[in-house]
Amino acid sequence: TFVVGENCIKCKHTDCVEVCPVDCFYEGPNTLVIHPDECIDCALCEPECPVDAIFSEDELPEDQEAFLELNAELAEVWPNITEKKDAPDDAEEWDGVPGKIQYLER
């Protein structure tokens, strides 16, 4: 599966959802997740993210391993998203800020 990692938090550009052939992105208040049972590993979404927040499970950085479980858990409760929407106004300022997991809203 592919995984939405930490840098999506507060950036949430949503370019990724437009290319997913199986519509397996789910939207929370300030980040997205991928449903691991629905993702077909096509890899189309990875290069679409302007802030490089998406990883193949095999390439997920060690310090982001918590996101594997978070994607699985939150994809079960958050609504599906298939159309791009505007990123938050301050998305640029949050790109690459370390420790964003503390800001994850459920």
Binding site for ligand F3S (CB under 6 A): 4, 8, 11-16, 32, 48-49, 51, 53-54
97 makes contact with ligand SF4 (CB under 6 A):
no
Distance CA 95, CA 98 (A): 9
- SS3 sequence, 34-52? ECCCCCCCCCCCHHHCCCC
Nearer to ligand SF4, 52 or 90 (CB): 52
Each residue 34-53 as x (binds ligand SF4 by CB under 6 A) or -, in order, gives: x----xxxxxxx--------
Closest by CA to 97, choosing from 53, 45, 48, 49, is 53
> Can you give the binding site for ligand SF4, defined by CB under 6 A?
2, 19-20, 22, 24, 34, 39-45
